[in-house]
Amino acid sequence: MADHDLSGFEKSTFTHDGATRRILRRGTGPAVIVMAEIPGITPKVIEFAEHVAAAGCTAVLPVLFGEPGRDPHPGAVGWPSAGRYMASSLWQVCVSREFTLLATGRGSRVVRWLRALAAAEHARCGGPGVGAVGMCLTGGFALAMATDERLLAPVLSQPSLPLACTPGRAGAIDISSEDLAVVRGRCEREGLQVLGLRFRGDRLSPGDRFAYLRRELGDAFVAVELDDGVANPQGALAPHSVLTEHLIDEPGQPTRQALDTVLELFRTRLLGEGPAAAG
């Protein structure tokens, strides 16, 4: 796949608490904040955003790291170039004070900026509330953003923080205990539903993390766990990116069914098209 020229996306910026970041936006209707995985807003992430827009929502993509539209797949650019780009994006994250990679019981500072973005997009786009999708390194951000009552549809796709280098970190997620208590209360009082996606063999997003979320959120946490064998074999790495690099976008494919589950959550919670809207 070639680099995407970002045609069809409106470009702007958003500033909060002294931090200004670029924003890509496409579609109309209630906002869905789409937070990319490492190395950034790839053509596959853009394709996912296009699905969100086609479902009747406004896809809002903050540029948190990387170069928007750049294709990192080694099949397109070669392993040396792909490796350098991946390392560059990881370095941006590692040297930033906005991301918490290892600590348990803590969220990343960038979440405050993302909550402000969600509030601004809700005011701009209207509707009952906002959706959010986090992927890999940003996966847990969608959960932490749900302390704000405007966040009605959080999706955690292969959440990978804190890095699962010890059993304790594997059985945790990057949110403070105080924020998790707020989200749990929303689940109990308001019927908030948290959707999680992962491949069963994914060591970056281990099964213990989903078990932890089941214990903490009960039936409000809905897990979609896929066998590794259903992942797109053209992905450069082991099965990991459910909605992007390892998606097989064909009817009847389990990864496509997972994508449809995400889009259905947005339709029911944000567009009032199904029974979950009354939850």
- For 213-241, the pLDDT digits (tens) are 999 999 999 999 999 999 999 988 899 99
- Phi, psi dihedrals of residue 7, rounded to the nearest 5°: -65, 145
Helix/strand/coil for 230: helix
Output the pLDDT for position 101.
57
Output the pLDDT for position 217.
98
Output the pLDDT for position 103.
55
Q: Under a CB-based contact definition with an 8 Å cutoff, are residues 246 and 199 in contact?
A: yes
Output the pLDDT for position 262.
98
Q: Tell me which residues of the chain have a pLDDT lower than 70.
A: 1, 91, 94-98, 100-107, 274-279
Output the pLDDT for position 95.
62
Give the CA dihedral 232, 238, 239, 241, nearest 10 degrees.
-90
Q: Under a CB-based contact definition with an 8 Å cutoff, are residues 111 and 44 in contact?
A: no
Q: What is the pLDDT of residues 16-59, one digit of tens each?
A: 989 999 999 999 999 999 999 999 999 999 999 999 999 999 99
Question: Could you write out the DSSP letters of every residue in 94-156?
Answer: HH-TT--SS-SS---THHHHHHHHHHHHHHHH-SS-EEEEEEGGGHHHHHHHTTSTTEEEEEE
Residue 218 is given by DSSP the state G
Output the pLDDT for position 72.
78
